[in-house]
Amino acid sequence: MDEPDSNLISRIQSLTKARLIGWQFAADGRWDVAKRTFLGDTALHAFSRIEHWLAVQATGNIAFEALLESEASERLFFGVRIAHLTAREKADVIKRVLAGSGKGDRMDATIEYMRSVLGDRNLAGATPEYLELGVLDLWNRVKPVVVWKEGEVLGEKSAFVMPEELAHKAQKPDTGFPPLHERQTGPLMLEAAWKRNPDIDNSYQCWVGLPVSDKDVIEGGYCLSESRYLSAIATFIDHGAWAASARKGM
């Protein structure tokens, strides 16, 4: 099999100059209460904390994210779900990931190392299966919206959902949280995602998120930036596919 296409990761690295700053671990997708470790602790101390957290989880649905920071001091993430692994395999993967990472590692180097640890050369190596818009660390509380899906037309004027269409697409959030199309307390992120499909050598579900909002320095909070949103779509899918998506439905 050919080596995975790294153009996507290269584009993100070139655009953001992202560097690794830490890791977070969540059970059942609850990123709002994720266990975090920032680089500075020794790998042994970090693993001891995460190992204890892992041992007390009542679910096997575990995922982790590399936390990265852009040149503009904005947060990015790259996540992998390891729910299908045994408890021992989960611990081993986490230990190796923590041991082999260093503060300031480039995003592309971090993902390359994760491919090695997981034994999956195809991790994030092709066009994403879908794009999803959500709020950093509040993904399941605010409720994300799938805004593009390969082979489908999700928008009214194009294959992807335009910002002005979000009010009709947004789901009802958890109590106390605003719907996705309104001002948010955290940055909005556009996430590219790949499903787990061992039949085609995709051994892990994974995702990568780019910031697509602007902070309101006067009133506070974050609002979706149309220009950043469209730029992120163009980053995640190749320009030919982007142009085709933009024309569909028009």
CA nearest neighbour of 233 among 198, 200, 192, 173: 192
Residue 111 has pLDDT above 50, yes or no: yes
Kindly give the pairing relationship between strand 205-211 and strand 75-81: antiparallel
pLDDT digit string, tens, across residues 201-249: 778 999 999 999 999 877 889 999 999 999 999 999 865 555 555 555 4
Would you list the domain boundaries of the chain?
Answer: 7-118, 137-190+212-247
Contacts of 56 (CB under 8 A, 6+ apart): none
H/E run at residue 79: strand 75-81
pLDDT digit string, tens, across residues 29-50: 999 999 999 887 677 788 899 9
pTM for the complete prediction?
0.90
d(CA 113, CA 195): 20
pLDDT at 3: 46
∠ CA 192-233-164, nearest 5°, is: 110
d(CA 163, CA 94): 37
